[in-house]
Chains A and B, each alone.
Chain A
Amino acid sequence: MIDEIALVEELQNIQTKEKAFRILIKEYKERLYWHIRKIVISHDDADDVLQNTFIKIFKGIDNFKQDSKLYSWMYRIATNESITFINKRARERNIDITEMKQELVSNLQSDRWFSGNDIELILQEAVATLPEKQQLVFNMKYFDHMKYQEISDILETSVGGLKASYFHAVKKIELYIKKKTH
């Protein structure tokens, strides 16, 4: 287990910054990648957003006050970068963000980096129809097995609120799949 406090101190010291940043990337790149990938869907976009995320982390680490956990802070940056990315894409195409998300999912059928079957594709479509917070909570809870408290630290929402969001998300997805498969 990584000692976050010691790592942050090294990251904020100019002499040890690069070495510590390598450790940080090694430790968190996969978790952050999969978190981003589930939001932006395509590998190329996830790669761009992950790079931007780490660049922002590198530039912002000196101002990180350790009020929250390092991983929560990084997840927040990754989440914001992902949402900003989709918003920007939607603006460029002059479409609504929900439409944009559905378009991203509809591209999955021809995506070489997607290996899902029909039902798994429908699940992704269903997730894309959810409001933003429900979508984030569903991905973090269902796929990433994160605890409500961890999600609460990242999204800065109460545990009770998250439980309700997750419950609604699962129910909506179940209904969506039912409609699509019957």
Chain B
Amino acid sequence: MRENAKHTQDGKLSEDIKTGFTVPENYFKGIEDNFLLNLSEKKLPKNNVFEIPKTYFEEFDDHIIEKIKPKKGKLINFKKIKLIPVAATVALIIFFGANFSFNNNSELSSDEIVNWVDVNINTISSDDIAFAFTDLNFDDMNPYFTIESEDIIESLINSDDIDFIIEHANINEIN
């Protein structure tokens, strides 16, 4: 069948008598279904039967904006929290790297490690961290991320670095 069927005045298709009117392809195929669908639709109720509290939409905007804003008073320096174990690990890698490359027979006490980290932790640059952790995506460390106090407690309980954090971290929680 041709894409746009030509229509005659007696309702039959013809190549000879042309009215110039055309219809979309498959129009007549779907017309019966559409008609039945319309009939069925007309039998169904259409009112909005759901109601809402009067001021719901007026109050919604401020309510949601409040929820997405970083919470004052519970904002923790996320970068610092995240970087403590990272910096510590980097410090240890650099420490071990430096010492073992010159003296493979040396034995290191934990005090030596802690002392070295204490002295050098401020000299570790972001480049050192990036170099040591090439597979970390630092863009994921959203500075606007807020941590609830419950989350911090849970994280600390489950952390392997708990002793290190207690001894060396300087977390300034803003109350």
For B69, what are the chain A residues with a Cβ–Cβ distance below 8 Å?
18
- A136 vs chain B, min Cβ distance (A): 16
For A143, what are the chain B residues with a Cβ–Cβ distance below 8 Å?
46, 48
Residue B60 is within 8 A (CB to CB) of chain A in the complex = yes
Q: Chain B 126-151 against A: per-residue CB contact (8 Å), 1 yes, 0 no?
A: 00000000000000000000000000
Whether A170 contacts B67 by the Cβ 8 Å rule is no
For B44, what are the chain A residues with a Cβ–Cβ distance below 8 Å?
123, 142, 170, 173-174, 177
Which of A121, A166, A167 is most buried by chain B, counting CB atoms within 10 A of its CB?
A167
Bound Cα distance from A103 to B116, whole angstroms: 65
Bound Cα distance from A101 to B45, whole angstroms: 20
Residue A55 is within 8 A (CB to CB) of chain B in the complex = yes
Bound Cα distance from A62 to B33, whole angstroms: 44
Q: Chain B 1-45 against A: per-residue CB contact (8 Å), 1 yes, 0 no?
A: 000000000000000000000000000000001000100110111
Q: Is the interface of A mostly helix, strand, loop or mixed?
A: helix
Q: Chain B 43-72 against A: per-residue CB contact (8 Å), 1 yes, 0 no?
A: 111111111110011001101110111000
For B47, what are the chain A residues with a Cβ–Cβ distance below 8 Å?
116, 120
Residue A115 is within 8 A (CB to CB) of chain B in the complex = yes
Given known A55-B67, A171-B40, contact A22–B49 (CB-CB < 8 A): no
Bound Cα distance from A110 to B73, whole angstroms: 42
Select which of B48, B50, B61 is within 8 A of A43 by beta carbon: B50
Bound Cα distance from A78 to B64, whole angstroms: 15
Residue A29 is within 8 A (CB to CB) of chain B in the complex = yes
Which of B37, B44, B61 is most buried by chain A, counting CB atoms within 10 A of its CB?
B44
Residue A21 is within 8 A (CB to CB) of chain B in the complex = yes
For B48, what are the chain A residues with a Cβ–Cβ distance below 8 Å?
34, 143
Taking residues whose C-beta sits less than 8 angstroms from the other chain, chain B's interface range is 20 to 34
- B52 vs chain A, min Cβ distance (A): 6
Whether A37 contacts B60 by the Cβ 8 Å rule is no
Whether A113 contacts B50 by the Cβ 8 Å rule is yes
Whether A123 contacts B67 by the Cβ 8 Å rule is no
Contacting residues of chain A (134-178) with chain B, CB-CB under 8 angstroms: 142-143, 166-167, 170-171, 173-174, 177
Bound Cα distance from A21 to B66, whole angstroms: 12
Residue A25 is within 8 A (CB to CB) of chain B in the complex = yes
Select which of B40, B46, B64 is within 8 A of A25 by beta carbon: B64
Which of B46, B67, B68, B69 is most buried by chain A, counting CB atoms within 10 A of its CB?
B68
Residue A114 is within 8 A (CB to CB) of chain B in the complex = yes
- Which residues of chain B have a CB within 8 Å of any CB of chain A? 33, 37, 40-41, 43-53, 56-57, 60-61, 63-65, 67-69
Sampled A-B contacts (17; CB under 8 Å): A21-B65, A25-B65, A29-B57, A29-B60, A29-B61, A33-B57, A34-B50, A37-B50, A113-B51, A115-B50, A115-B51, A119-B45, A121-B49, A142-B41, A166-B37, A170-B44, A177-B43
For the complex of A and B, the 7 pairs showing the least CB-CB separation, nearest first, are: A116-B49, A113-B51, A174-B40, A120-B49, A170-B40, A58-B68, A120-B45
- Which residues of chain A have a CB within 8 Å of any CB of chain B? 18, 21-22, 25-26, 29-30, 33-34, 37-38, 43, 47, 50-51, 54-55, 58, 112-117, 119-121, 123-124, 142-143, 166-167, 170-171, 173-174, 177
